[in-house]
Chain A
Amino acid sequence: MKVTFPHMGNMYVPIKVLLDTSGIDYVMPPYCTNEPLELGIRHSPEFACLPFKTILGDFIYGVDNGADFILFAGGRGQCRLGYYGDLQAEILKSLDYKVKFVCLDLTNLTPKEILNRIKPLTEGKSILNIIKGIIYAVKTVYMVDNLNELARYTRCREIIKGQTDRLISQFHNLAQKANGYKNISDIINLTKKSLRQIPVDKKYKPVKVSIVGEMYVSTHPNINFQLEKKLGNMGVEVQNNLSISHWITDHFVRKLLPIKFKKEPHEAGKEYMKTNDIGGHGIHTIGCSILSAKNNFDGVIHLYPFTCMPEIIAQCAFSEVQNKYDIPIMTLIIDEMTGEAGYMTRLEAFIDMLKMKSEVATTNN
């Protein structure tokens, strides 16, 4: 069996580690091209959101290139993600693709159940290698997110602009070609070392912006027109509240521990939403915006794919949040449009506004 998987930000790095270590054969769709996107749009219902279309495109690309097993992580809850896996499986079937489609509902599954579902893939493979693969992959998730964290620090402070970008794009080029935990972790460590050597202006006080919203568009640079890179190069320090490592910590690590953790964004978000779950990241989005204000961020950028229900609801709370917590929030809606001019205007204007505000605040004090 040969598996294929969709891209989401840096997720491909740990997935590669997992599959390499377990000895599972795979097809990886190209990281950053328009071909899968076009395939996805052609075969998707018009009303579906952009993540649905790009993910379907990645699947079709993978199957066209020899994969016969698809692993998709869906979820339950009130949002459409719950039936996306089934819908994609049906679309692939109607296109006459012979492929095994396994959709993992990650909201309630335990690791043991997951292993059960992916049995066709793991049959005949050494259990030890699979366990090793999972441990390595989780480690890689944290390493890659850590690398990104560092890039966010250096990008806005670097003295010669473009150094961070060059290292990160070099990292992606190498990581896509490399195989196995050893090689990939070497590349991560090497990039980290080079990032640390970039000369930075330590006294520089950047404007701080926090990114909230739907996870896929917030973490996938090819879809969100490289938002983090653009902000960083405007001299803005970015915090992205959505990363795979946050997610794993919340969904697996904390669940396995005997102590009950309170999810801070959820608790904060409840001020405006008197329900536990509306699907997606609705409450999380509101909560993170409130927490960003409390943690002295200058502004919040809210991202979501066009027609995303939970985020539309979250957005409704923003005019209240802005007034009460005195933090500017700008919403950007992502769809198929590839023209960046409109986004750039809004981003520049938003950052200009934050900079002017913080200047006024410092002269008044």
Chain B
Amino acid sequence: MERCAPVLNRSLHALFAERADVILLGEDLLDPYGGAFKVSAGLSTKFPDRVLTTPISEAAIVGVAGGLALRGLRPIVEIMFGDFTTLAADQIINHLAKFRGIYHGQVSCPVVIRTPMGARRGYGPTHSQSLEKIFLGIPGLTVVAPSRHHELGELLRRAVVDSTDPVLFIENKAMYAQPHEPPVAGRVAEFSTRTTADRFPTLTFSLNDFAPPDLTIATYGGMTPLALQAALELAMEHELFAEIIVPSQLSPLPTAELLTSLSASRRLLVAEEGTLTAGWGAEVVARLMDTADFPFASARVAAANSIIPTSRPLEDAMLPQPADLIAAAIKLTSSPRR
């Protein structure tokens, strides 16, 4: 099975071959280095005019991409670590995401900003964060964070080709080295799966062929394998069947699959790798509270309110683990269904 980083790399190669208006900008992109995580490897050799290695200037390169997009090109920016998106926040929030709106729809600004987020690789406090929550709910900005079970290459292609507004495309960095395993004939290992027809689809995983679940788990990106692992253990050890909903689009939040599952389970567990406060999970719970016409109970699992320590045992303790999901699921299901 192919790993996720080469899948993204192949998608970029296909995009460059398909379209002459695609340009890639970022730090350390040139071969033989090919970008810090090798997702851009080989592009500078094949398409030297369209791969621009840049100074360490995140704000400027995102701004340049905005200018390129306003003038008709399809730029992709690679930000080496997601932690560094803060340096480009003004460009993302006040410029790229604004242009179409403030100019009354007269322009489009299709920039894709690809960046790795996430921990579990020992990179420490400033190279491991999941900061995507900062960018949720910015009008005009779409935030996409696929899991290793999404069609990664196709999602990246759609972000580049089918967008009129900027897309922040989060690539979980633990995922890079994991096998890419999209559903085949509606299955991933022991799970039955369902995929929505959205531009950035939501996946639903079930261990009992979509019979009404005991609880619904909402998660995304790098937490997905951990949630699936927890679901297996819940089924085998505790006879609790979870349905796992994995959107690839974090913002704006698609809620249809979540509502369908939750209407049966009435119990929602949200799991994310970032810190709890004001996280994605808070928005998921609040949004479902607003829209569901039935009662439900909810719980959130996320990272501890701390920096991400470098030492392995401390990092493990700070991050949400399958055991945390299992404990939260057992507690959530210990009360009668609402």
A binds B: no
- Residues of B whose CB lies within 8 Å of any CB of A are none
- Residues of A whose CB lies within 8 Å of any CB of B are none
